[in-house]
A and B are shown apart, each in its own frame.
Chain A
């Protein structure tokens, strides 16, 4: 028996998932650091935040992102059949969310709110921008998975699907925190 043949296949096939879990844990600390900075600096930007943030609009766009976690789960369940369709739906929902973010950025920037303009701009753009970047990475992963699942029908493993799904749920979960801190926090602060 060679070493190669003796790999304990059961355990090992879960490696990507475990790797993703650890990576997500690490990413959480990254966001935690920025969120703590946001909270610490919040008083200095609160007035502007109250004036400039559009709660309802963003809430609606957020719903698209939250929904995409649901479609991702469906995609996973149906991976042997039409899962790829649901992946596309997930991607579109994510894109809609990003568009919402983009619109908000354009509006803020056109009223002169930028990272340089004050503490609100500094913290808002950094936190939401970093989240947006992660959504982009998630979209890239979903695109990759879609293509792979079409090109190699049925050969992308369940673990592969799950790994991408976990990352996407994470990105979604981060938004729950960011939305609470930035938008709900402003509303009640």
Chain B
């Protein structure tokens, strides 16, 4: 109707969102705008990625040569614990939730999330939780029982410092934020879609965000409950996990993995979603098998709730239990395979533009397949008996977490950065970033498969020279160095492009979905007029009125 309801904005694109001229930095503390909160989440992830990365480098330096006494074992334990906790809870989740926050309302044509103030609360809880975990280092020592903190090692008898207390407190607060955030996003998707945006037209990123939100609601409370039990064990002298008093440490393992396994799909599904946006756009073609890609997410969601004990094949469960969890885990390969094959089929017969974003997406498929296949080998009980808790598992998890989640996030970031800032990331630096990271990644983690098979257990602060594991470890450490160079280039790219990147315009990629119809960065309430989804690819329809998307 009129533009007068839109506050005056600066004319040149500024960071993230067109903010009223003269807005202060303090605004970030008070903001309830979904885009700004999205950026806060991403900033949080970037901040903690520095720590997660530095701890990873410390691990690799320590393990580069055998019988290295550089890092004290007690410190090493804190380092790999905080590395795992940071990367999972304070990097992967926040960066993905950040993208959900920023992109979901835009993609469904809403002006914000359903509960903006609750949204701010979610962020601050998540962030506070992270700070609490890190506060342990100031308070006298970080948590040192691994990211899954098995009792009795994490109980008061064997872990006398306060590190585990901050772990419990921090993750509980962080988890509360994540749960509330998931409620918010789910309600937003279910109730705030613009006209025409039926469920079967939802962009796939939104689809997978929806499934992820439900998974968060189903999985996180189990972690909270486990943390409560650990807390009363540690502080009220309770005996949940105390075998001497009739308790059972396996209860923790079940509760933790009831959360922990869905957690890994919670982080991979949004990344799948990003890939499902990026690949069609740069293939110049709609996604192959939309319904199957969407439905397989739901299948993955359900299956992922019934596979948790594949992390516990070695604890001595009955054959029946082992077989059940093994079978269920293998089944997940089917819907995941459906996704992988549909992405590949989208590329075949397309018109492929290998922008940096598309490189990451292709690298994602190439790498994730391998992590997925090693995952299936781990789901086979006798094989797991052999390689569980070895570097083979470390390799698997980084292939899916780094080669999956992180590659996916980079694909999404290079894709949406111009929408968020109005400026393109440098493609030249981006390609350096990609290739260095890609090569460094495989160099780091490919050798770890062999280390695991040869008998190197994970979480060893050092290893005997007589084992002959030195060479592969050195190779792995050099790979981490290569990745570091790649990451530094990325940080440089980010800084330079924010200030002086090429102006992007509204639709730099010739894309398909609604978010590219508004300005870059979007106006405060996202759209000046309510957008209408004419199909799965509304923007395509506008550009090709003669061959509209049939959906």
Contact = CB atoms under 8 A, between A and B. Distances in A.
The answer to whether A and B touch in the complex, with CB atoms under 8 Å apart, is: yes
Interface in A139-178: none
Interface residues of B, number: 48
Contact of B190 (A4, A5, A18, A114): A18
B121 interface: no
Interface stretch (B126-134, B423-431, B526-534): B526-534
Contact-residue bracket for chain A: 35 or more
Contacts of A5: 1
B123 to A, nearest CB: 17
Given A3-B526, A3-B530, A29 B240 contact: no
A63 interface: no
Interface string B506-531: 00000000000000000001111110
Nearest to B109: A3
A99 to B, nearest CB: 22
B437 interface: no
Contacts of B245: 44, 118-119, 122
B238 A27 contact: no
B236 interface: yes
B258 A115 contact: no
Given A19-B183, A44-B246, A34 B114 contact: no
A91 B115 CA distance: 27
Interface string A1-45: 111111100011011101100110111111101100100110111
A18 B111 CA distance: 19
B238 A30 contact: no
Contacts of B184: 19
Nearest to B239: A122
Interface in A90-126: 114-116, 118-119, 121-123, 125-126
B238 A121 contact: yes
A19 B247 CA distance: 36
Given A1-B1, A33-B255, A37-B255, A45 B246 contact: yes
Contacts of B111: 3-4, 7
A67 interface: no
Contacts of B1: 1-2, 5
A126 B247 contact: no
Given A3-B111, A22-B183, A29-B219, 14 more contacts: A6-B530, A12-B192, A15-B191, A18-B187, A19-B184, A22-B186, A23-B180, A26-B218, A27-B221, A28-B221, A34-B225, A37-B255, A115-B236, A122-B239
Interface of A: 1-7, 11-12, 14-16, 18-19, 22-23, 25-31, 33-34, 37, 40-41, 43-45, 114-116, 118-119, 121-123, 125-126, 130
13 contacts: A3-B528, A3-B529, A12-B192, A19-B115, A22-B186, A23-B179, A29-B221, A30-B224, A33-B258, A34-B228, A41-B246, A118-B245, A119-B247
